[in-house]
Amino acid sequence: MAMHPITALNVLRKQVITGTVRGRVLFYSVSTGELMAEVFAHARAVTCISVAPESAYVLTGSEDGRFIVYKLHTRKPQAFQVEYRYSDELPNTAIMGAQFTNGRGSNIAVACFDRNAIYGYRIVKKTGT
């Protein structure tokens, strides 16, 4: 496996989550150091990683202008799984900061390199039809 410089880092429960200059998001076990999952998430460098401990959501932002929300499953029957939940793009800019603003991961704040604004997002649960 090729090594890529780490550009972002965070910890959720028993996992260390890193983002790389090549847009990959890597999930490692805190206790063993084992690589648990690798996601080819972004077209450019990952600039930020946020976690929502109550929901096990992971948020990544990138120089490609996209942010992505994942759900981390660490309990059986699937011992370890990363599930895509949501993404959006702010065109023609680089995301330099993205954070969950609550522990559930339903509210997100995003800041960009060349814009004098903070963008707010609210993720709502799907309702049955």
pLDDT tens per residue, range 4-30? 899 999 999 899 999 999 999 999 999
Output the pTM of the full model: 0.90
How far apart are the C-alpha atoms of 34 and 118, rounded to whole Å? 36
Residue 129 lies in a domain: no
Residue 83 lies in a domain: yes
**Range(s) of the domain holding residue 78:** 6-122
Give the C-alpha distances (Å, rounded to integers) separating 123 from 29, 69, 84, 120: 28, 10, 13, 10
Domain count across the chain? 1
DSSP bridge pairs for 97: 111
Residue 30 lies in a domain: yes
Residue 128 lies in a domain: no
Q: What is the mean pLDDT of the chain?
A: 92
∠69-40-107 over CA atoms, to 5°? 10
∠54-89-18 over CA atoms, to 5°? 50
What confidence score (pLDDT) does residue 128 get? 62
Residue 78 lies in a domain: yes
What's the CATH number where 109 sits? 2.130.10.10
How far apart are the C-alpha atoms of 88 and 66, rounded to whole Å? 6
Residue 35 lies in a domain: yes
What confidence score (pLDDT) does residue 3 get? 76
Cβ–Cβ under 8 Å, residues 7 and 21: yes
Residue 86 lies in a domain: yes
Residue 1 lies in a domain: no
